[in-house]
Structure 1
Amino acid sequence: MGSNKEFKAVFLLPGLLVFITLTIHGLEFYQLNIAPKFSEQQRLRKDLLRKQCGGINQSLVNLNKIDLKNFIVDDKHGIIYCYIPKVACTNWKRTIIALNHDEPYPDPQSFKSNLVHRFDRFKLLTQFPMPERKAKLKHYTKFLFVRDPFVRLISAYRDKMQKYDQYFYDGYVRVILQRFTNQRNLTVNYNVARKKGLRPSFYNFIQYIVDPRTQTYAFEPHWSQMYRLCHPCLIEYDFVGHQESLQEDAQELLKMVKLENDIKFPPSYENMTSADSVMDWFQSVPLEDRRMLYRIYEEDFQLFGYRRPTELLDD
């Protein structure tokens, strides 16, 4: 693909003229190519969102009332990505970093995972004035990727409770161990704790999430409800991807934005959790706690089309 020439686009909002730097590539996409390129799967996913959000008025008027810190803006290609931790966000961040280099784009896998999560690598929607945020949300291609909520919790537990760093040890692991295992006088050093094998069980982690004390505060993003991070009933997404069909969905999205020949989405090496292994993980969790957990994440299940796991919730 040739280089994308920048130009100034003017959008009229009530009482305001908003000047936004766009690209010919991005403008061509959202003016001409969004609707024709939706697959049947995308139509069904977006129809479900509209149906589930039916009682909620989708309006950018309320934009100042929500948290937009998970929204990454790529002005070069007219893209906004709402990232959800534990849903391929490392590889999507790698891809966006690569896309903001000169062509030919570097291999996204060349960017180390411990560096891609630094906020200084991205433009966040929160960095723009409110009129510009609204204009970008109206005219850019907006996408997110979601995942079975309980499988995402298992992934979060394995990553942040079993392989914790100092941040997660101080803020969560020590709290969980003290609250649910009655351990006292715990070391302050996470390396010492890991060497001693100090780790909450999966059940301890679930106990923490369903604890009313936990729910008085915003959840840590790795286990926060997906709808709370990306607000699908307020923001009308152009593409809704699923972790369960990650490679196919990633290719479809890149094709939609005419980048499929310019960059390759990285392969995923994470072991996908099967239905049987989900059952194994939840064996230690009492039925009532499973039901409480489902109520916490029920909107995610319903909004994004994941079936209610009856094998975990029914007698």
Structure 2
Amino acid sequence: MTLKNIKNIKKQYLVNLTAQIKNSPSDLRLQRASLSSSPSVLDEPAVSPKQPVTKRHRKLLLKSPSSAPGGEEEQQQTLARMQESRRRLLSEVCAKYQPGVTEQLVSQRQVSRVYVEDRYKLLYCEVPKSGCSNWKRVLMVLGGSATSTRDIPHDAAHYANHLRRLESYDRAGIADRLASYTKVLFVREPFERLVSAFRDKFESPNSYYHPVFGRPIISRYRANATRTALRTGAGVTFREFVQYLLDVRRPVGMDIHWEPVSQLCNPCLLRYNFIGKFENLEEEANFLLQSVGAPRNLTFPDFKDRNPLAERTSSKITQKYFAQLNSTERQKAYDFYYMDYLMFNYPKPFKDLY
């Protein structure tokens, strides 16, 4: 989808909102929330949507009324309503801007990022920088490949072939699982996810991303680049990275770590049953595990195994990186991820965006 098409969609979206003011105020509230400065009421987690669930917050939850008799049930109902709200919003967005997509025959390529756990009938689409490493660990434990998430190194979770992708099945196997399994998607605020990917792949030593992405990025976008930079690909700046991202003739292809979720996981085509958010990851992941009947001693891990000493990418850190861009570059980046912001009800990260 080109930036021109996205801008046309945005214009039509605002026209549709105006036309619906009198006809469907309840639906309007859900759709307009995606462009407002704050999430909808049902979709607002117990902490600020831009802050992680900290250990202190979990302690406060234990002392809160929700932990009293009946409080857990109330919390489960709140999370269930939140899921209903997210599914409804996604359905409305898809119906307006990708009508008829679900009628298409699903190809193997379109489910290439979806992992299968047959024992508990789960389909999980990996969204890098949104908790996918720990989700793979959970799937391995559910499938019997490991007994504890703590015992699974990062490389084993990603490269040991303990998990099967949905694309590896024939068409009948794919269709049957899509129709009967719980389809899971976890997303993250798009700009935070982008900055997290940049910090991980370009600010730390990396034997793949520096030569494969760094060298062509520096060669294309840096004037008077040194021989060392051109040889190693190390030292890509955030602005150079964004220039590459927005270039329709980018010198090297797209990568799953910063590809929009709307393209990576095909949400309009696959119609996920569960849409979780990284901002409230542990609580929502554990709610899902409980819902599918996972072992009671299995909870979603909270550790960070890559660059563990580095501070997690937060809203504040994201703001610092985007301060390196001018307003036009920020707007183009927002346009690039616009469908993700719209589908998953994330507010505009900067007030001057439209």
Which segment is superposed worse, 253-262 or 62-71? 62-71
Task: Work out whether 1:96 is the aligned partner of 2:139.
Answer: yes
Task: Work out whether 1:279 is the aligned partner of 2:319.
Answer: yes
Asked if 2 retains the 8 angstrom alpha-carbon contact of 1:52 and 1:303, the reply is yes
Q: Which residue of 1 aligns with 2:88?
A: 47
Q: Which residue of 2 aligns with 1:256?
A: 291
Q: Which consecutive residues of structure 2, in runs of 5 or more, have no partner in the other structure?
A: 1-76
Q: 1:88 to 1:312 in 2, by over 3 A?
A: farther
Cα RMSD (Å) of the superposition? 2.4
Q: Comparing both structures, which one devotes a greater share of its residues to strand?
A: 1
Return the match for 1:245 from 280, 290, 306.
280
Q: Which residue of 1 aligns with 2:10?
A: none
Normalised by the size of structure 1, how large is the TM-score? 0.79
Deviation at 1:265, TM superposition (A): 1.1
Letter of the 1:86 partner, please give it. K
* CA distance in structure 2 between the aligned counterparts of 1:101 and 1:170, rounded to whole angstroms: 37
% identical aligned pairs: 28
Structure 2 residue matching 1:223: 3-state secondary structure: coil
Q: Which consecutive residues of structure 1, in runs of 5 or more, have no partner in the other structure?
A: 1-35
Structure 1 residue matching 2:100: 3-state secondary structure: coil
Letter of the 2:287 partner, please give it. E
Q: Which residue of 1 aligns with 2:329?
A: 289
Deviation at 1:93, TM superposition (A): 0.3
* CA distance in structure 2 between the aligned counterparts of 1:283 and 1:61, rounded to whole angstroms: 42
Q: 1:218 to 1:232 in 2, by over 3 A?
A: farther
* CA distance in structure 2 between the aligned counterparts of 1:168 and 1:110, rounded to whole angstroms: 27
Q: Which residue of 1 aligns with 2:247?
A: 211
Q: 1:238 to 1:307 in 2, by over 3 A?
A: same
Q: How does 1:162-177 map to 2 (within 5 A)?
A: 162-177=203-218
Q: Which residue of 2 aligns with 1:106?
A: 147
Which segment is superposed worse, 203-212 or 243-252? 203-212
Asked if 2 retains the 8 angstrom alpha-carbon contact of 1:142 and 1:237, the reply is yes
Deviation at 1:148, TM superposition (A): 0.3
Normalised by the size of structure 2, how large is the TM-score? 0.71
Asked if 1 retains the 8 angstrom alpha-carbon contact of 2:128 and 2:257, the reply is yes
Task: Work out whether 1:229 is the aligned partner of 2:269.
Answer: no
* CA distance in structure 2 between the aligned counterparts of 1:85 and 1:252, rounded to whole angstroms: 21
Deviation at 1:164, TM superposition (A): 4.3
Deviation at 1:276, TM superposition (A): 3.1
Structure 1 residue matching 2:270: 3-state secondary structure: coil
Q: 1:250 to 1:238 in 2, by over 3 A?
A: same
Q: Comparing both structures, which one devotes a greater share of its residues to helix?
A: 2
Q: 1:51 to 1:122 in 2, by over 3 A?
A: same
Deviation at 1:308, TM superposition (A): 1.6
Structure 1 residue matching 2:348: 3-state secondary structure: coil
Task: Work out whether 1:83 is the aligned partner of 2:126.
Answer: yes
Deviation at 1:272, TM superposition (A): 4.5
Deviation at 1:313, TM superposition (A): 2.9
